[in-house]
Amino acid sequence: MRANVETVRALVRRAMNEITRVPGAAIPGVLAPTIFFLGLTAVFGNLTLLPGFDSESYQSFLVPVSMMQGAAFTGAATGVNLARDIEAGWFDRLLSSPAPRPVLLAGLVLSASLRSLIPATFLLIVALAVGAHWPGLLGLIVAYAVTMMMAVVAATWGTSLALKFRTQSAAPLMQVGMLLLVLTTTAYAPLDLLSGWLQEVARVNPVTQVVEAARQGFVGDVTWADTWPGLLALAGLAAVFTFFALRGMRRMTIN
C-alpha cells in the first residue's frame, strides 16, 4: 500500500515538474479556456436579454462551462503526454516496474485532477475581474470539486485513447471528444432556450448535470438537489472511462 502511494506521488510529481520545467507547453492549456470565456461573453453576452434567460450576467453563466473546458483540455493533455511516453518508450519502463497498472493509472489521473486547478483558478480570477458574480465559499468549493472530477473523466478518456492508438496523432480525438461532451450541454443558454437537436442532446447528456452543478453558486444558491445529479453523472462517466483505460493498460505489452 505504501509503495503504491509512493508510486502515485512520484507520477504526480513528474506531471507537476513538466509545468515548471516546460511552462511553454502548459500555457496554451491555461490560456485557451480564458480566451474562449472572454470571446464568448463578448460575442454572446446579449443573449441574457432573451426572455427566459435565467441569469443577468453572461459572464456568471459561462464561467463554469469554461472551467469544465479547462478540465477537459487538462485531461486530454494527460492522454497526449501518455501517448508521447509510449512513443518514446518511457511507458514501457513503467510497465516493467513492479507497480500495479491501476496504480499507474491513478498517478496519471490524480495529476490531471490537480493540474486542472491551474486553468480554473486563472480563469476564475479573470472572470471575477470582468464582472462574474462571486459564487460564495460553498459555490466555489462545489465548482472546484466538479472541475477536478471532470479532469478525472477527461484524463481516463484521454488515457484509454492513448493506450488504444499509442500515438500523439490521436490528440485531436482526445480534445475534440471532450470538448463536444462539454459544449453539447446548456453551455450557451438554458435548456429551454436551446434550439433543435441541441436541446434534445443536452437533455440526455450527463455533462449537462455537471455544468449545472458547477454553475449553481454563480447564478443563485447552492442546493443538494442541484448538486447530486452532477456528482452522480461524474461518477458514472469516470467509472465507464476508467474501465476502458484499465482494460487498455492490461492489454498493453512491453516492447
Partner 1 sequence: MIERLVANARVVAALGARSVKQTARRPQLAAPLVIFPTALLAIQTGGAGRAVDLPEFPPVESFLAFMLAGAMVQSVMLAGNSGGIALALDIEMGFTDRLFAAPISRFGVVLGRLAGTAALGAMIALWFVAIGLIFGVEFEEGVAGVLWIVVLVSASSLAFGGIGAAIALKSGKASVVQGLFPLVFVILFLSTAFFPANLMLEPAASVAEYNPLSFIVEGIREPIVAEFQLADQLEAVAAILGIGLFGIALSWVALRARARTGG
Q: Which of 111, 159, 184, 208 binds partner 1 (CB under 8 A)?
A: 184
Choose between 98 and 196: whose C-beta lies nearer to partner 1. Answer: 196
Give the span between the Cα atoms of 106 and 108, in whole angstroms.
5
Q: Indicate whether 176 belongs to the interface with partner 1 (CB under 8 A).
A: yes
Give the span between the Cα atoms of 110 and 151, in whole angstroms.
9
Q: How far is CA 173 from CA 15, 76, 232, in A?
A: 22, 9, 25
Q: Indicate whether 199 belongs to the interface with partner 1 (CB under 8 A).
A: yes
Minimum Å distance from CB 161 to partner 1? 13
DSSP string computed for 3-22: HHHHHHHHHHHHHHHHHHH-
Measured in whole angstroms, how far is the alpha carbon of residue 66 from the centre of its chain?
A: 10
Choose between 175 and 242: whose C-beta lies nearer to partner 1. Answer: 175
Choose between 38 and 103: whose C-beta lies nearer to partner 1. Answer: 38
Q: Which of 21, 98, 197, 224 binds partner 1 (CB under 8 A)?
A: 197
Binding residues for partner 1 restricted to 30-69, rule: CB under 8 A: 31-32, 35-36, 38-47, 49-50
Choose between 197 and 224: whose C-beta lies nearer to partner 1. Answer: 197
Q: Which of 196, 204, 225, 253 binds partner 1 (CB under 8 A)?
A: 196
Choose between 131 and 236: whose C-beta lies nearer to partner 1. Answer: 131
Minimum Å distance from CB 143 to partner 1? 21
Minimum Å distance from CB 72 to partner 1? 14
Choose between 37 and 144: whose C-beta lies nearer to partner 1. Answer: 37
Around Cβ 21, how many Cβ atoms within 10 Å?
9
C-alpha dihedral sign at 155, 173, 37, 226: negative
Element (H, E) at 103: helix 101-115
Q: Indicate whether 23 belongs to the interface with partner 1 (CB under 8 A).
A: no
Of 93-101, 171-179, 228-236, 238-246, the segment contacting partner 1 by CB under 8 A is 171-179
Q: Indicate whether 100 belongs to the interface with partner 1 (CB under 8 A).
A: no
* 63's grid cell: 464561467
Q: Indicate whether 229 belongs to the interface with partner 1 (CB under 8 A).
A: no
Are 218 and 192 contacting, i.e. CB atoms less than 8 angstroms apart? no
The count of chain residues that interact with partner 1, using the rule CB under 8 A, is: 38
∠ at Cα 127 (122, 129), nearest 5°? Answer: 100
Q: Which residue has the cell 487538462?
A: 74
Q: How far is CA 218 from CA 41, 140, 151, 253, in A?
A: 15, 9, 20, 47
Site for partner 1, rule CB under 8 A: 24, 28, 31-32, 35-36, 38-47, 49-50, 169, 171-173, 176, 179-180, 183-184, 187-189, 193-199, 201
